[in-house]
Amino acid sequence: MNEFILFGTTHLLTLSIIFAISLGVPFILRNKYSLDSLSQFEKILGFTLILNELMKPFYLIAFGDYKWTNTVPLHACHISSYATGLFLLTRHQRFFDFAYFWGLGGGTMALLTPDVEFTFPDLDFITLFSGHGLLFFGIMYIVIVIGQKVTFSSLINALKYSLILLPVMYGLNLLIGGEPGYEANLWYLMKAPAGDSLMTLFPNPPMHVIPVFPLVAGIFYMLYLPFYFAEKKSK
């Protein structure tokens, strides 16, 4: 199996496909949108986002070098997929508050600096890019086709949920434990990702949270700005 090369040909091609589909399809559908015409599609997309994350531990353990301790599907991007799916099924704004900021912020970072060792067709490569690609598509669909907005309150909610979940995830990591090499590492609170990422610039987990959280807040604020300017322009 060939080693994964950050921004190599395979990586760039994969990103191009994901971004082309995630932006192209919603822009085609947005002028044809009505709740009745696309309701079934949205239900299928919503259930697919949720079930894809719930099923990952089973096929990762069956076909990869994993144990249940390091496949618990509660990373931030997993939760973003659940929240995106639940929004499509319920239209509850609070689901989208988390999904938009963590899914677009953290999910895009995962696509750009993936935590994988080998390139396509390695199972980890396929799993990471298919899952995060589906999440990115779901969020773009919601923003472009449905036209869902986020507000400053949405930004505050996303940060508040993050602060609440951080100690919970750290406690779960300690509770789950795991054999060496198979330890729980939810939200990368126990050790940094294996691949190249921004986390290599910060202290070792969990102390990296102290400098990283202001950075996350800044990224979230930048993701909020397009809606802020659009709202000001419409007044």
pLDDT tens for 41-98 read 999 999 999 999 999 999 999 999 999 999 999 999 999 999 999 999 999 999 999 9
Beta-bridge partners for 118: 3
Whether the predicted pLDDT of 184 surpasses 80: yes
Tokens of 109: 């970072």
| Residue-level pLDDT at 113 | 87
Q: Would you say the C-alpha torsion 219, 81, 24, 28 has a positive or negative sign?
A: negative
Mean of the pLDDT values across residues 103-113? 90
Q: Has this prediction a pTM greater than 0.85?
A: yes
